[in-house]
């Protein structure tokens, strides 16, 4: 019967303190982890809050000083699309270009619309004077777009007194 009964505690201090020591170690680790996470969150919040406040102050100062704020883009599609023909090596070639004008001021764009026949004429003349071999490359198309932008801005400067159009965009370009 002595085999079934549990042994009485020996009274040694090391045997009972082992589970309590592990528990204390776990508690210390959990507390340290919570402190590390808390300080990380607090530091991140402080840095983000400080930098966002610094970004807002120059914008507010610029608005108060009356500095011009960049307005959203306005797009004016020129319809119908431009269809021009030109001759290349004795062969008749055609090009169709759909164009959109990008501006920032609606009132100035409306003032330019009065001169739309002159603008379309300039663009037709520019497109029909192109070389087909240059236009088949992306660089040639970009050069044509830049020439069209310069031509429209020149007309706008002459007629309206401001360049008005920021860019001429090709929304479709087909060559045959």
Indicate whether 170 belongs to any domain.
yes
Statement to judge: residues 81 and 147 lie in one domain? yes
H or E element in which residue 143 lies: helix 138-159
Q: What is the pTM of this model?
A: 0.59
pLDDT tens digits, one per residue of 57-73: 555 555 555 556 788 98
Indicate whether 1 belongs to any domain.
no
Contact, 155 vs 123, CB < 8 A? no
Statement to judge: residues 94 and 62 lie in one domain? no
Domain total in the chain: 2
Indicate whether 148 belongs to any domain.
yes
Spatial CB neighbours of 97, under 8 Å, sequence gap ≥ 6: 81, 82, 84, 127, 170, 172, 173, 174
Over 60: is that where the pLDDT of 37 sits?
Answer: yes
Number of helices (H), then strands (E), belonging to the chain: the values are 5, 3
Across 34-43, 85-94, 120-129, the highest mean pLDDT is recorded for 120-129
């Amino acid at each position: 019967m002595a085999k079934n009964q549990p042994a009485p505690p020996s009274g040694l201090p090391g045997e009972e303190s082992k589970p309590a020591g592990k528990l204390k170690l776990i508690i210390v680790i959990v507390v340290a982890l919570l402190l590390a996470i808390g300080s990380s969150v607090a530091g991140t919040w402080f840095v983000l809050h400080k930098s966002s406040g610094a970004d807002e102050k120059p914008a507010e100062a610029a608005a108060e000083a009356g500095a011009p704020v960049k307005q959203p883009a306005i797009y004016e599609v020129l319809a119908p699309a431009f269809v021009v023909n030109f001759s290349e090596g004795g062969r008749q070639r055609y090009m169709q270009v759909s164009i959109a004008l990008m501006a920032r001021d609606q009132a100035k764009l409306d003032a330019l619309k009065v001169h739309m026949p002159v603008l379309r004429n300039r663009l037709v003349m520019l497109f029909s004077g192109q070389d087909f071999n240059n236009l088949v490359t992306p660089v040639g198309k970009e050069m044509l777009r830049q020439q069209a932008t310069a031509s429209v801005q020149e007309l706008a400067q002459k007629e309206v007194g401001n360049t008005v159009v920021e860019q001429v965009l090709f929304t479709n370009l087909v060559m045959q």
